[in-house]
Amino acid sequence: MKNPIIKLSNVTKSFGQKIILNNLDLQINKGESMVIIGGSGTGKSVTLKCLLGLLKIDSGNITIFDRDLDKISLNEKQEILKKIGMLFQGSALFDSLNVWQNISFGLIKGKRMKQNLAKDIAIDKLIQVGLKPEIANSYPSELSGGMQKRVALARAVATDPEIIFFDEPTTGLDPIMANVINDLINNIVKKIGATALSITHDIESAKKIADKISMLHEGKIIWTGLSSDLEQTDNKYVKQFIYGKTKGPIEIKIR
Amino acid sequence: MSNLFKLLSLIGQFIISLFVVVGRLAFFTYSSVLKIFLPPIYIKNILLQMFNVGYLSLPVVGLTTLFTGMALALQIYEGASRFNAESTVAFVVAIGMVRELAPVLGGLMVAGRVGAAMAAEIGTMRVTEQIDALYTLSTDPFRYLMAPRLIAGITMLPVLVLIGDIIGISGGFFISTNLLELNKATYIKNTTDFLQSIDVISGLVKAAFFGFIVTLMGCYNGFYSKGGAQGVGSAATNAVVSGSILILSANLIITRIFFGA
């Protein structure tokens, strides 16, 4: 049995009375591309934020690179973060910095790389995500949504991280651009040999980028399987979700 | 009976939320101040913030102190002439400007200009996940965003107030010698003879505290803003309101420390 690079055991997280993650268990092996699917408000983004240490869990354990996040110092956490890349749902590019400064931010500030070298790497990453080097001096507000997503992807992989998290990578993009992003994710993840964890409710995207898919419902993983098994499963929750049926075990809660 | 319970519950909730805010502000202040002294220090960010807080606030603070110095000369002349004490105009304008009006009005103007802008900028970074992105790129937001702003506030406001002192006193001089026909040489002599260094120093110390308050409130309200555009708007408003109230109350305390009997 493979040693998981990311492991969540009995993770619970609540906001006030509302339980978001309820004894969540999840394992991701090195080099694997795992996608978590699930409806809105099921705890997908919270899972990612807990993994990044942006939210503190109520109970359970999260281990990354065999280190328990709750038992390590802030400096050790930062060392782990240096091996992780993150693509945010809304890109989260720094609007006060231009494109190449955004991409090279982790190299210059995190890895203390010299500016000239970091700029060369940033432009190389820009080409890898299919953008022209001419936009290196543009600011994020001058780019389209799709271009911003690509720049954010270039920033996420600039440090050649061992783990990459993708938060809704195709949300808000047209189908063609969504496919372009899916292909980029596949190519880049394979190229740098990273472990990838994506969260999405875009089934087509999930099938394209995943080796394994897990479904999150009411704070628990209710199904895990190979990407190719997704449509063959008998799990009623998964079936309802992937075919978008309004009737089934998943109840849409309307306040 | 149930109404009494509701009332007690509301009071309890208010007290708990008050403690939460005080605790959060204390933690934020501690983290931000600590990071001023711990490397890495982002020199470029500090210089940029000094430019924003200092140089770009110069017109606002300069105009405010100019008109205040002018109006103060008119007011003091009118009051002093009732006692045939027109010669005190120069001294009262100088002491009023350096001890009180330049630091307080300068602080309030900077709270309106800089505090609101900082809250809006950091608030937008919060709601668009840019602060989370900083963290994931191994960069401490307190070191990268808060510490440079606090340093800029603490160092630049005394400079602005010192310039405001000179402009305000010059405004009083201009009105007194041109409109009120006071003697120029006597006016300058009265100003320099009676003004003591403690008057200027107390104003500059106040300015440093006000600079800290303005930038802290801007950063704090921005950092904890939530809920999109409305949340960012509220953060900017709260930064100005809380900054202004804290400036006025701190002014009383610092004045009492320097000049209290």
Whole-number Å distance between alpha carbons of A109 and B144: 10
Please tell me the distance in Å from B227's CA to the nearest CA on chain A: 15
Distance CA B69, CA B17 (A): 43
With a CB cutoff of 8 Å and minimum separation 6, the contacts of B179 are B74
Residues in A closer than 8 angstroms to B40, CB to CB, are: 109
Angle at B7 between CA B1 and CA B8, to 5 degrees: 90
Chain B hits for A95, Cβ within 8 Å: 130
Q: Do residues A242 and A202 lie in contact, with contact meaning Cβ atoms separated by under 8 Å?
A: no
Can you read off the two tokens belonging to residue B167? 């402009």
CB atoms within 10 A of CB B9: 10
What is chain B's mean pLDDT, rounded? 92
From B150, B148, B159, B147, select the one nearest B57 (Cα to Cα). B159
CA distance A46 to A41: 9
Residue from A192, A193, A171 nearest A182 by CA: A171
Provide the shortest C-alpha distance from residue A93 to chain B (in Å).
6
Question: Order of strands, edge to edge, in the sheet holding A212-217?
Answer: A84-87, A163-167, A195-200, A33-37, A212-217, A220-226
Cβ distance A92 to B138 less than 8 Å, yes or no, reads no
Q: Which of the two residues, B121 and A40, has the higher pLDDT score? A: B121
Closest listed residue to residue B97, CA positions, set B40, B24, B38, B164? B164
- What number of CA atoms fall less than 13 Å from residue B188's CA on the CB side? 4
3-state secondary structure of B224: coil
Indicate the range of A199-208, B7-16, B21-30 predicted with least confidence. A199-208
Nearest to B136 among A81, A89, A93 (CB): A81
CB contact (8 A) between residue B139 and residue A95? no
**What are the Cα distances from residue A78, in Å, to A81, A84, A106, B194?**
5, 10, 12, 57
Q: What is the pLDDT tens value at each position of chain A, 255 positions in all?
A: 567 889 999 999 998 888 888 888 999 988 888 999 888 878 888 999 999 988 899 999 999 988 888 888 888 888 888 889 999 988 899 999 999 999 999 999 888 889 999 999 999 989 888 889 999 999 999 998 888 988 998 999 888 889 999 998 888 778 887 888 888 888 888 888 888 899 988 888 888 888 899 998 888 888 888 888 888 888 888 888 887 777 778 776 655
A93: chain B residues, CB-CB within 8 Å: 130, 133
Chain segment B151-188, per-residue pLDDT in tens: 999 999 999 999 999 999 999 999 999 988 888 899 89
Taking the CA atoms of chain A, what radius of gyration do you get in angstroms? 18
Q: Which residue of B has its CA nearest to A163?
A: B136
pLDDT value at residue A171: 81
Higher pLDDT among residues B77 and B86, named by residue? B77
Residue B18 has pLDDT above 80, yes or no: yes
Interface confidence, given as ipTM, is 0.87
User: For residues B172 and B66, what is the distance between their CA atoms, to the nearest angstrom?
Assistant: 8
Cβ count near B34 (within 10 Å): 12
Between B39 and B260, name the one with better pLDDT. B39
Q: Which two tokens stand for residue A66?
A: 């065999």
Please tell me what DSSP assigns to residue A43. S
Does residue A166 sit at the B interface (CB-CB below 8 Å)?
Answer: no
Return d(Cα B52, Cα B50) in angstroms, integer.
5
Q: Residue B54's CB: how many other CB atoms inside 10 A? A: 22
Q: What is the pLDDT of residue A109?
A: 85
Tell if the CB–CB gap between A81 and B130 is shorter than 8 Å: no
Would strands A212-217 and A220-226 be described as parallel, antiparallel, or unpaired?
Answer: antiparallel
- Which class for B7: exposed (0-12), middle (13-18), buried (19 or more C-beta within 10 A)? exposed
Q: Is A35 within 8 Å of A213 (Cβ atoms)?
A: yes
**What residue in B sits closest to A103 (Cα-Cα)?**
B137
From the list B229, B10, B39, the residue with the least C-alpha distance to B120 is B229
Contact A94 B136 (CB under 8 A): no
Q: What is the pLDDT of residue B214?
A: 95
**Crossing angle of helices B197-223 and B147-174, rounded to 10°:** 140
pLDDT at res. A2: 65
Alpha carbons A187 and B121: distance in angstroms, whole number: 36
B136, B139, B144: best mutation site toward chain A, by most A Cβ within 10 Å? Answer: B136
Q: Sort residue B129 into left (φ over 0), alpha (ψ -120 to 50) or beta.
A: left
- Token reading at B92: 């009262």
* Min Cα–Cα distance to chain B from A181, Å: 20
**pLDDT exceeds cutoff 60 at B46:** yes
The answer to whether the CB atoms of A88 and B138 lie below 8 A apart is no
Q: Could you tell me how many CB contacts below 8 A there are between chain A and chain B?
A: 49
Question: Residue B157 and residue B219: Cα distance in Å, rounded?
Answer: 16
Shortest distance, CA A6 to any CA of chain B (angstroms) = 16
Q: Is the pLDDT of residue B213 over 90?
A: yes
In single-letter form, the type of residue at position A186 comes to: N
Helix (H) or strand (E) holding B18: helix B2-37
Residue A137: half-sphere exposure toward Cβ, Cα within 13 Å: 1
What is the C-alpha separation between B115 and A226, in angstroms, rounded?
Answer: 52
Are B174 and B71 in contact by the 8 Å Cβ rule? The answer is no
As given in the structure block, the two tokens for residue A12 are 């619970």
* Alpha-carbon gap: A253 to the closest alpha carbon of chain B (Å): 21
Per-residue pLDDT, A217: 87
Q: Please name every residue paired with A165 in a beta bridge, in sequence order, or none if there are none.
A: A86, A197
CB-based contact A65:A80 (threshold 8 Å): yes
| Ramachandran area for residue A25 (φ above 0: left; ψ -120 to 50: alpha; else beta) | beta
Classify residue B99 as exposed, middle or buried by CB count within 10 Å of its CB (0-12, 13-18, 19+).
buried
Per CB-CB distance under 8 Å, the chain B contacts of A106 are 137-138
